[in-house]
Structure 1
Amino acid sequence: MMKNILVINSGSSSLKFALFDAGAMSNSDNMDQQVCVFRGQFSGLGTERTAVIMHAGNHATAPAEANDHQAAIMSLLDWLGQHNVLERLIAVGHRVVHGGMHYDCATRLDPDKVTLLDALTSLAPLHQPYSLAPIRALDERLPGTPQIACFDTAFHAKQPLEARQFALPYAMYDRGFQRYGFHGLSYDYICRCLPSMIPNYDPQARVIVAHLGNGASLCAIQAGQSIASTMGFTALEGLPMGTRCGAIDAGLVLHLIGEEGMTVAEVSKLLYKESGLLGLSGISSDMQTLLRSDKPRAQQAIDHYCYRIAREIGSLTAALGGLDHLVFTAGVGEHAAPVRDSVVHQCGWLGIRLDASANQLNQICISAADSEVGVWVIPTDEERVIAMDCVAMIDME
């Protein structure tokens, strides 16, 4: 009987799911040969535009639509039961955004660990509650089935001390006030892909990966190790994002509270949900919508977004001591050719050049023949990394 790993990647308005053949994953180190039985997602949860999309697999049906996360996970479990999957599950893997100081690798969950992770909700309010809700639901529906948390922060846990510290009293670092970094599962996947995707890849190559989606960050990587990243204590820092402001003067936040009379909840709503591309444009948080718009503020928002990415690439290049490869991934990184073109153009001082035709076609290699830096477009797959980590953990037990 086939043994399966179910992966749940739950976001603020979506719930992605994938089923992997655990036996095939155990027998192969090749990412391309690991069998995904099916994958799909619920989108628009909590809104009026709900949908279920199947991206792969031979099933003629899909789970029923759902209006919220609880209904989505119940619909998924009912659908899995109809397809005789539940009895073959050996584990369920979850993307959990924040592991705090506690976890630098995947961990098998129990009620105490879930409570500990719940206490980190204030550090990732757009993500942590939605990561934990399916865990609780599955524990009720499938008691005894191993559930494993894989953390976005874990990939960055071994960054140099100087990259992790804030210039606050040192005792605060020991209490957990430090840069954690996020999107680690995506960066981990890209790192595992690089040797097979880039010809004659040097394991010591200096790489910057641009994870550009509704959330956005950059990570400097060498020898598979995170050296520095743009996100910090929370997933609010760094680049402007769909609705998040990115880096901002802490004094401005104090001013909003002290002089403008805003409450902490109001400031949180402003910075997390009303800023970024949405706030700058006044139109949308969606990059493709802005690229299609002829409104001046849409272009201004895109220009600011690309400017900040280019500036941070310069910063991370300094942290690496040079740059050999730049990789674009996630929704905007994989599909928004004008964004890549603008970013690379602004980084021309690095000797980086684009092949305009390859870029427009979203090809894997988009650097020109005379570019001193390789430029790549590599689709990410967080669910596959989670499944691999689950198999590795089960094999060790």
Structure 2
Amino acid sequence: MNAILTLNAGSSSIKFAVYSDAPEPELLQVGQVENLGPIAQLTLNRSAARPIGPADHASALPAILEAVSPVLAGRELVGVGHRIVHGGKSFVAPVVLEAEQLTQLEALEPLAPLHQPHNLATVRAAQRAFPDVPQVGCFDTAFHVGHPMVNDVFALPRRFYEKGVRRYGFHGLSYDYITQTLRRDYPELAAGRVVVAHLGNGASMCAIRDGQSIGSTMGFSALDGLPMGTRCGQLDPGVLLYLMDQGLSREAITHILYKESGLKGLSGLSHDMRALLASDDPHAAEAIDYYVFRIRRELGAMAAILGGIDGLVFCGGIGENAAPIRARVLDGMEFLGLHLDASANRAGGPLISTGQAHALVIPTDEERVIARAVVRLL
């Protein structure tokens, strides 16, 4: 039996998995390297984490390969699949990554500085480890290709749009997985109007009609839209002008927007929703209030884009696990046909509503989307 390795590099972690290369890949092993830096840790098959010492995205790969070597024994590795956050205008479907493609993707690093450099560092490390194995890139932006122009453009001089200053949208692999799952398990809903809320350390929402992205809260970069763990979400551009007038450098502003804002910035405590829900600090409560408010506001916007909704899907670490957040988002949403089933919500779903519109909790699986893409492409 042949095997596929998937590598999903985040800003401070790498999720990895080994699959068979069957038409519907079978998961053989799953794990994650967390806290990349001086105290990196590796988790395999959701067991207890073990320290692997100092590691960055490239140097963590040997520890990953050592962890998966038993399951790869006797199997030929036929492809390595990678999540690439930004594909720009050119990368609209999975591709085999060669030197030319990596050079093009490097040019997009300023658009996703928290992720793109780490994505590409992981690709290069995998190329060194497996020089004869195809490396396949899967792009978070690709799901949103085909947006209506009104959701693709900013009201700037048109020359900037032609140069690529436009709304791309992100979290596409997650939305792809949810859409495929709906087609399998809820086909009537999948053919209708669905809002998917990917709520995690990174967070966004997407309006989807019959499987096609119609609108997204994220735009030119992964900073836009909802507040996130450490990212600001929607921000008046005048704030940036003010910060520059105050003498802050580009580097300082970038650090504030990507690393010090969001739940962490508002609470002054943590980016972790579990810690905030457990805290009695009023700043933690205010951070949660703002987070919920923005989700509810964007839900209304997505419903307007779609002309009503037939379903709302929660996914991502917070969306899948934080029942109090789901309850607060759905409170008073009966006008959209969403009626919370409190007991089902506490139990984790999948169906957590009783109204005309479905509210669902569906765990997302970006790694499976990557594995499926590798099978199709190779």
TM-score normalised by structure 1 residue count: 0.91
Q: 1:265 maps to what in 2?
A: 251
Post-superposition Cα deviations, 1:162-182, rounded to whole Å, max 9, x if no partner, equal: 110111112211111100000
1:6 Cα offset (Å): 0.6
Q: 2:13 maps to what in 1?
A: 14
1:310 is aligned to 2:296: yes
Instruction: Pick closer, same or farther for the CA change 1:281–1:62 going to 2, 3 Å.
Output: closer
Moved over 3 A (4+): 60-64, 78-87
CA contact (8 A) 1:80 1:86 kept: no
Q: Which amino acid aligns with 2:293?
A: Y
- SS for the counterpart of 1:326 is strand
- SS for the counterpart of 1:193 is helix
Give the Cα separation in 2 of the matches to 1:359 and 1:62. Answer: 29
Give the Cα separation in 2 of the matches to 1:372 and 1:78. Answer: 50
Q: 2:317 maps to what in 1?
A: 331
1:63 Cα offset (Å): 8.8
Q: 2:202 maps to what in 1?
A: 215
Give the Cα separation in 2 of the matches to 1:271 and 1:192. Answer: 33
- SS for the counterpart of 1:65 is strand
1:103 is aligned to 2:91: yes
1:357 is aligned to 2:347: no
Give the Cα separation in 1 of the matches to 2:48 and 2:78. Answer: 24
Give the Cα separation in 2 of the matches to 1:61 and 1:274. Answer: 29
Is the deviation greater in 323-332 or in 156-165? 156-165
Q: 1:386 maps to what in 2?
A: 370
Post-superposition Cα deviations, 1:346-377, rounded to whole Å, max 9, x if no partner, equal: 43331311000111111200002xx1211000
CA contact (8 A) 1:63 1:75 kept: no
Alignment partner of 2:31 out of 30, 34, 40: 40
Instruction: Pick closer, same or farther for the CA change 1:315–1:226 going to 2, 3 Å.
Output: same
Q: Which amino acid aligns with 2:78?
A: I
The alignment covers a number of residue pairs equal to 377
Give the Cα separation in 1 of the matches to 2:171 and 2:324. Answer: 23
1:119 is aligned to 2:107: yes
Q: 2:64 maps to what in 1?
A: 76
Give the Cα separation in 1 of the matches to 2:335 and 2:248. Answer: 42
Instruction: Pick closer, same or farther for the CA change 1:66–1:85 going to 2, 3 Å.
Output: farther
1:240 is aligned to 2:227: yes
Describe how 1:192-211 pairs up with structure 2 within 5 A: 192-198=180-186, 201-211=188-198
Give the Cα separation in 1 of the matches to 2:73 and 2:155. Answer: 51
1:265 Cα offset (Å): 0.7
Q: 2:218 maps to what in 1?
A: 231
Instruction: Pick closer, same or farther for the CA change 1:174–1:288 going to 2, 3 Å.
Output: same
CA contact (8 A) 2:179 2:190 kept: no
Q: 1:173 maps to what in 2?
A: 161
Instruction: Pick closer, same or farther for the CA change 1:277–1:62 going to 2, 3 Å.
Output: closer
Give the Cα separation in 2 of the matches to 1:84 and 1:390. Answer: 17
Post-superposition Cα deviations, 1:85-116, rounded to whole Å, max 9, x if no partner, equal: 49611110000000111111111100121111
Describe how 1:127-138 pairs up with structure 2 within 5 A: 127-138=115-126
CA contact (8 A) 2:9 2:119 kept: yes
Alignment partner of 2:76 out of 88, 93, 102: 88
Instruction: Pick closer, same or farther for the CA change 1:82–1:38 going to 2, 3 Å.
Output: closer
Q: 2:45 maps to what in 1?
A: 55
CA contact (8 A) 1:63 1:76 kept: no
Instruction: Pick closer, same or farther for the CA change 1:261–1:197 going to 2, 3 Å.
Output: same
Alignment partner of 1:153 out of 134, 141, 144: 141
Give the Cα separation in 2 of the matches to 1:222 and 1:331. Answer: 24
Q: Which amino acid aligns with 1:78?
A: E
Q: Which amino acid aligns with 1:322?
A: G
Report sequence identity in percent.
48
- SS for the counterpart of 1:244 is coil
Give the Cα separation in 2 of the matches to 1:19 and 1:170. Answer: 45
Give the Cα separation in 1 of the matches to 2:58 and 2:263. Answer: 29
TM-score normalised by structure 2 residue count: 0.96
Give the Cα separation in 1 of the matches to 2:353 and 2:315. Answer: 15
CA contact (8 A) 2:215 2:305 kept: yes
